[in-house]
Chains A and B, each alone.
Chain A
Amino acid sequence: MTTIDAPRSPHTPATATRKVNWEKWGWIYMRASGILLVVLIFGHLFVNLFLGTGVRAIDFAFVAGKWASPFWKVWDVAMLWLALIHGGNGMRTVINDYAHGRGRTVLLVLVAASVIGLIVLGTLVLTTFDPCPAGAPGNLVPSFCPVNSK
C-alpha cells in the first residue's frame, strides 16, 4: 500500500523521495495531449467528414492524395501516438476502478499490447506508404501516378 500523508504535512520521506512521480506525469500527459488532440482530431474530422462530400469522398486515392503531403503525414502520425497513449492511459484508469486481481492484470496487458501493436503498425503504414502501388489500376490511384500519365 502506498501511504498518503495527511494534508498539508511537511516534506517527509514519503513525499520527498527522489523517484519519478509517474502518476503525476500521466495526469499532466492526459491534459497536454488532450489540448493537442482537440486541434488534431477536429481538423481530421473536418477535412475527412465535413468538407466536400464528407465520408463519401474517402477512398484509396483520397488517402494517397493527403499523404502525398508531409504535412498530413506528420499530422496523422502525431494523432496516432497521442490518441492511442491518451486512450490507453485512460483505459488503465477505468480498469483500475472496476477490475481486481488476475482479471485486472489481464485487461491491463491487453490494453498495453493493443496500444503498442497499433502504434507500431500505424507508424509503419504511414512511413512506408506507396501512393502508386505496382499493378494497381489507374482509376483507383491518385492522378499523379505514372499509370495515369500514359
Chain B
Amino acid sequence: MWSWVLHRITGVAIFFFLLVHVLDTSLVRITPEGYNAVINTYKTPILGLGELALVAAIGFHALNGIRIILIDFWSVGTRHQKLLFWIVIALWIVLLAGFAPRQIINIIAEMS
C-alpha cells in the first residue's frame, strides 16, 4: 500500500516539475541571457535541495515502476512483491548515496 501511495505522490510531483522544466528550458529559444538568469536560480542552495528531492522522487518512481512491471509480467513477480519492494528501497539508497555527496558539494561551493 505504501509503495502505491509513494508511487502516486512522486508521479504527480514529477509531472508538475516537468511542466515548469519544459517552460524554463524553452527560454533558450528567446535569449541566452534570459535562460542563464532563470537557470541560475536552480543553483541556489534551496533549489539545490529541491533537485536532491527531485532525484529522490524520480529514483523511487522509476525503481518502483520497474517493480510494478515485474509483478505484472514476471511469473513469480507477484509472489516476491515484498522482496522486490525491499530491493527497490536498497537500490534507491545506493542511488542517493551516489548523488547526494555530489549535490551537497555543489550546494556548499555555491554558498561560499
Chain A residues positioned under 8 Å from B102 (CB to CB):
49-50, 54
Contacts of B65 in A (CB 8 A): 34, 38
Asked whether any CB of chain A lies closer than 8 Å to the CB of B14, the reply is: yes
User: Within 8 Å CB of B33, what residues of A?
Assistant: 140
Size category, B interface: 35 or more
Contact with A along B7-36 (1 / 0, CB 8 A): 010011011001100110110110111011
> Considering only CB atoms, which chain B residue lies closest to A35 in the complex?
B69
A146 within 8 A of B: no
- B36 and A125 form a contact (CB under 8 A): no
User: What interface size band does chain A fall in?
Assistant: 35 or more
CB–CB A136/B32 < 8 A: yes
B58 at interface, CB cutoff 8 A: yes
Q: Chain A residues near B31: list those with CB within 8 A.
A: 133, 136
Q: Bits for A5-43, please: 1 = Cβ < 8 Å to B, else 0.
A: 000000000000000000000000001001101100110
Task: Give me 10 other A-B pairs in contact (C-beta within 8 A), A49-B99, A55-B51, A56-B106 excluded.
Answer: A35-B66, A41-B58, A45-B58, A49-B55, A54-B103, A56-B109, A63-B25, A124-B29, A128-B29, A140-B33
